Amino acid sequence: MKKIAITGATSGIGLETAKALYEKGNELIFLVRNIKKAEGLIKEWSGEDRVEIIECDLANLQSVRNAARQLLTTYTELDVLINNAGGTFEERKESKEGLELHFAINHMGHFLLVIELYSFLQKSNTKIINVSSEAHRAGKLDFNNLQLTHNYSVTKGYGNAKLCNILFTKSLAKRGFTSYALHPGIIDSGFGDNLSTPFKLLWKLGKPFMKSAREGASTSIYLAQNELPKALNGSYFKNKKPTHSSSDSKNEALQEKLWKYSEEIIAEKLNSNSNSKDF
């Protein structure tokens, strides 16, 4: 039995990942924004005592910090952390701290979660799994406009955030963690609900060709359950197999630049320079 924490566990592939891992006898920690929704879901599961719920709003850095601290005071070890939560937004929106919402939810909240748990995850030899997407190939990080205050598009926002997921994964592997990124596939879920009417129509037309949420969860489940060769550490997976990610995702200078940029945001937005460390 493994102890597994997962963000975004109340819908889509996150929920299907959680269900499958629960059915395999694992102990789960839901890191979720909506506690009542999570409680309602697990009431249907037998032996629900194997699921704990911690409030964690990835669009609110203080909430992420509080969640990490609660986890640290409750648990002595963690086998797997699945950074699954994500979202897409047709119009530019901002998090509580004024970060572009794709960047905030898909990358920055997960980055802070890992930083707050850094020593704990090291000690536990925790495997860190980051749910990315083939959309990362559309990502081009311009650090002068990473928050997309001008020339915003959903393609840029989502593509950049998913590229960040892979850059983060490879940075973690270089720092001694076991970490993988993955593409779950094009999923028939509520993922496109925030899109405008023309995009929603295209999304609906494509549904017959999409994977189910359970099928989309298969690679996350595979990575959580299996021990892989060290040579695959930091790899990007698709259909449970390692595959090539974009050239930008393999750029070590870009990996380090994103790490430093993310640390600077923590220092600025949480007014905690003492907590921003050069790991």
* Catalytic positions: 158
Contacts within 8 Å (CB) and 24+ apart, 251-259: 251/167, 252/170, 252/174, 254/141, 254/167, 255/167, 255/168, 255/170, 255/171, 255/174, 256/171, 257/141, 257/143, 258/141, 258/164, 258/167, 258/168, 258/171, 259/168, 259/171
Q: With DSSP H G I counted as helix, E B as strand and the rest as coil, what are the percentages for the chain, rounded to 5?
A: 50, 15, 35
Place of tokens 């220092």: 267
Summary count for the chain: helices (H), strands (E): 11, 8
Joined together, the tokens standing for residue 160 give: 């950049």
